[in-house]
Amino acid sequence: MTNLLLGLNFEPQIESLGSDYWDVVDAARFPRTELRFRNNDLLRQLGIDPGAVKDHHLEQAYGCFEARTPLLALRYHGYQFGTYNPLLGDGRGFLYGQLRDRFGQLQDLGTKGSGTTPWSRGGDGRLTLKGGVREIIASEALHRLGVTTSRTLCLVETGEKLWRSDEPSPTRSSVMVRIARTHLRFGTCERLLHLRNAQGLERLLRHVVDVYYPLIAAAHPVQDGNAAGAIEAQLLAFYAELVERVARLAAEWMAAGFTHGVLNTDNMSLLGESFDYGPFAFLDQWEPGFTAAYFDQTGLYAYGRQPGICHNNLRLLQEPLAMLLPRQPLEQSLETFAPIYQSHYRACMQRRLGLPSSFDHNGNIEGGDDAVHKTLALLAAWPVGYGAFFAGLATQISTKGLPEEPEALLPVVLDGAEPARKAWLDWRDRWWTQQREAVSAEPDEAQAINARLQRWNLVKTPIRSVIEEFWQAIDQHDDWQPLQAWLKASCVD
């Protein structure tokens, strides 16, 4: 059977931008390749019939990197924990290729753990198997929860022993391949400011607008005579749209109870998509100060600080953009961050609670605010799991239906300790009233509430202890079943 993956129709968009933006690299040669995860859902999205793809085809393509050139390590810099680092760039991955999915959207296939590059800075260019497993879990759970995110296409174990300070060593090596809308980062722009390369930045951003923001390109066509004005208008509109996307992304993370952990500007996509899942954690209990990365000693990237950090990263992005654009309209766009964040956060929380969101004529979400506030007050008062709270509500409604009386809604099924009584009663009465109002206004809401609860919550949130459970089985018995079972139940085909 021919390997379809070796004959895909790649579109050399980044390659054609020119060699200022990347370095051609070779993949490492690994002693062994063994497919550990494949995402059939994504193969279908790429227009490939999963039935025609054998596991060894994925190993050939994404472990041995057969028949694919050029592999491009992308150049970028970034602010890491507030300090500018001009030595970054793809140090353990490369852009494998870009192709259209079946919706016509350009997608990047990018690797992690595929060998050293000119940007490895003494690192080994590798990804641990546990790191790869964690990346699958984060991307697929976030996708399932409605967060705009990269996805994991496959994970190939590569048969080397790695030494790490934060994992029992030696540990196993792997290559992860993801699809992301782009691997262009805020840090890609920051590098061009560092090099005082305004022309290079303009070229990059016009490319971004043409390929990824077609509505903006169409709204401000660049023609002879008005080119400068049209380009400025495009780039200002791009920044305004990016502010909106990043505000929405931050809201989605917060509602998902997700702490990214390393919100450096080199981990911020120019399309506002979430990616790079290293020391992330899903909240166990709701706690704004929760910090995911052990090396984040000041809690800079704590759960509750993420919206502020995203806002700050967007302001940092103004520095390179100011080589091409006036500051004042950029600042004005940034002011939309807070209201967009607020209304999207409310909408995301509402749907986790099963409740409808209605919009006023300005697009703001009406009502429901109170239920969201009361949910946060309850979660602050009651040491219940964040994801477990929503899962408990979803299970109760799917098994017993909507409660006739508020008293019928029971906290006991919601796992954990006795809730602080007042917070529980406040929350319960509010939620009950809101669902009742929704159903009286629109009888179909009875099904819709249950459907939302099932759709926007996970039966089992992959908090750290759950990930460790999956990892122990893999590490000690090479048993991938618990991970696979969870993926099947919660996430992907």
Ligand X SMILES: Nc1ncnc2c1ncn2[C@@H]1O[C@H](COP(=O)(O)OP(=O)(O)OP(=O)(O)O)[C@@H](O)[C@H]1O
Q: Which residues bind Mg ion (CB under 5 A)?
A: 267, 276
CB 365 within 8 A of CB 350: yes
Asked whether position 112 contacts ligand X by CB under 6 A, the answer is yes
Neighbours of 30 (CB within 10 A): 23
x/- track of binding to ligand X for residues 256-295 (CB under 6 A): ------x---xx--------x-x-----------------
Provide the minimum distance between the beta carbon of 182 and Mg ion in the complex, in angstroms, as a whole number. 14
CB 21 within 8 A of CB 204: yes
Provide the token pair at 189: 């722009």
Asked whether position 160 contacts ligand X by CB under 6 A, the answer is no
CB 360 within 8 A of CB 369: no
Task: Identify what 372 binds: ligand X, Mg ion, none; CB under 5 to 8 Å per kind.
Answer: none
Cα separation, 274 vs 260, whole angstroms: 9
Provide the token pair at 358: 């209605």
Task: Identify what 125 binds: Mg ion, ligand X, none; CB under 5 to 8 Å per kind.
Answer: ligand X
Three-state secondary structure readout of 465-488:
HHHHHHHHHHHHHCCCHHHHHHHH
Provide the minimum distance between the beta carbon of 461 and ligand X in the complex, in angstroms, as a whole number. 22
CA distance readout (Å), 65 to 30, 109, 155, 396, 490: 10, 12, 13, 48, 31
Provide the minimum distance between the beta carbon of 110 and Mg ion in the complex, in angstroms, as a whole number. 11
Catalytic-role residue among 90, 266, 369, 426: 266
CB 415 within 8 A of CB 392: yes
Task: Identify what 23 binds: ligand X, Mg ion, none; CB under 5 to 8 Å per kind.
Answer: none
Asked whether position 91 contacts ligand X by CB under 6 A, the answer is yes
Number of residues that bind ligand X (CB under 6 A): 18
Cα angle 360, 365, 368; round to 5? 125
Q: Any binding-site annotation on 89?
A: yes
Q: Which residues contact 84 (CB under 8 A, 6 or more apart)?
A: 77, 78, 190, 194
Q: Of 92, 172, 351, 452, which lies in the binding site for ligand X, with binding defined by CB under 6 A?
A: 92
What are residue 282's DSSP bridge partners?
Answer: 258
Task: Identify what 124 binds: ligand X, Mg ion, none; CB under 5 to 8 Å per kind.
Answer: ligand X
Task: Assess whether 266 carries a catalytic annotation.
Answer: yes
Contact stretch for ligand X (CB under 6 A) within 41-49, 84-92, 96-104, 151-159: 84-92
**Which parts of 391-430 interact with ligand X (CB under 6 A)?**
none
Closer by beta carbon to ligand X, 127 or else 388: 127
Asked whether position 126 contacts ligand X by CB under 6 A, the answer is yes
Residue type, 477: H
Looking up tokens 């790191």 gives 131
Residue sitting closest to Mg ion (CB): 276
Q: Of 97, 125, 272, 368, which lies in the binding site for ligand X, with binding defined by CB under 6 A?
A: 125
Q: Any binding-site annotation on 40?
A: no
CB 163 within 8 A of CB 169: yes
Closer by beta carbon to ligand X, 121 or else 422: 121
Asked whether position 27 contacts ligand X by CB under 6 A, the answer is no
Task: Identify what 120 binds: Mg ion, ligand X, none; CB under 5 to 8 Å per kind.
Answer: ligand X
Cα separation, 238 vs 204, whole angstroms: 12
Cα separation, 251 vs 349, whole angstroms: 9
Provide the minimum distance between the beta carbon of 133 and Mg ion in the complex, in angstroms, as a whole number. 17
**Cα dihedral across residues 94, 98, 102, 104: positive or negative:** positive
Closer by beta carbon to ligand X, 124 or else 369: 124
CB 142 within 8 A of CB 256: yes
Q: Any binding-site annotation on 112?
A: yes
Closer by beta carbon to ligand X, 119 or else 456: 119
Asked whether position 90 contacts ligand X by CB under 6 A, the answer is yes
Cα separation, 133 vs 470, whole angstroms: 9
Alpha carbon 127 to chain centroid, angstroms: 19
Q: Of 43, 48, 53, 88, which lies in the binding site for ligand X, with binding defined by CB under 6 A?
A: 88
- Residues forming the annotated binding site? 89, 91-92, 112, 124-125, 178, 185, 267, 276
Site of interaction with ligand X (CB under 6 A): 88-93, 112, 119-120, 123-126, 262, 266-267, 276, 278
Q: Could you tell me which residues are annotated as the binding site for Mg(2+)?
A: 267, 276
Residues labelled catalytic: 266
